[in-house]
Amino acid sequence: MIIWVNGTFGAGKTTTATQLVELSPDLRLFDPEWVGYLLSNNLADHEFTDFQQLPPWRALVPPVADEIARFTGQHLAAVQTVLVEDYWREIETGLIGLGHSVLHVVLDADKETLHARIDADENGVDIRKWRHDHVDPYLAARSWLLAAADLVIDTSMTDAESAAAGILQYARQAEKSISKVG
């Protein structure tokens, strides 16, 4: 199973996913952004503003996730904001095509909460403006995201530990045939 944790900056994706893998030794954290870094460095001569715009990113994320899951024997908690519906569908279709069930989780929060968390993040000071600039695109994509999600958690009212426990419980119920989720 691939548990894809989606949402915008400040929603609590990384913190929640970290808690999630701590709750289950059968889950491994997977950051698709590293595939993007690889491509950004190797395709610097191509024009793009976000590596997700590169078709190779959307094509490579599923097999990389698949290889990691197969090599480790673990399910993955993938953490990545994907705001373009067509991009999400490509990734989801690729993962399913490789035999993985996909649990699409959207961590949601109101605009004020997102901006406050971005401002409070001591680790993201250098990219704070960039993160703030992505709140409105998230809100614009919110309707399709919520509709496409298997599970939506409002993190403005739920802490990361509770969100992770809820995701794990949902995953166990959704995939009774997979005994190793938790």
Assign residue 122 the CATH number of its domain. Answer: 3.40.50.300
Residue 181, in any domain of the structure: no
Chain mean pLDDT for the chain? 93
Q: Which pLDDT score, from 0 to 100, does residue 10 have?
A: 81
Residue 127, in any domain of the structure: yes
Q: Tell me: the pLDDT tens digits for 117-174?
A: 899 888 878 889 988 998 999 999 999 999 999 999 999 999 999 999 999 999 999 8
Q: Which pLDDT score, from 0 to 100, does residue 126 have?
A: 87
Residue 95 domain boundaries: 2-174
Residue 180, in any domain of the structure: no
21's CB contacts (< 8 A; 6+ apart) are 27, 28, 29, 77
Residue 43, in any domain of the structure: yes
Structure tokens at 21: 């893998």
Cα–Cα distances (Å) from 34 to 79, 127, 173, in that order, read 11, 17, 30
pTM listed for this prediction: 0.91
Residue 113, in any domain of the structure: yes
Residue 182, in any domain of the structure: no
Q: Which pLDDT score, from 0 to 100, does residue 14 have?
A: 92
Residue 37, in any domain of the structure: yes
Number of domains observed in the structure of the chain:
1
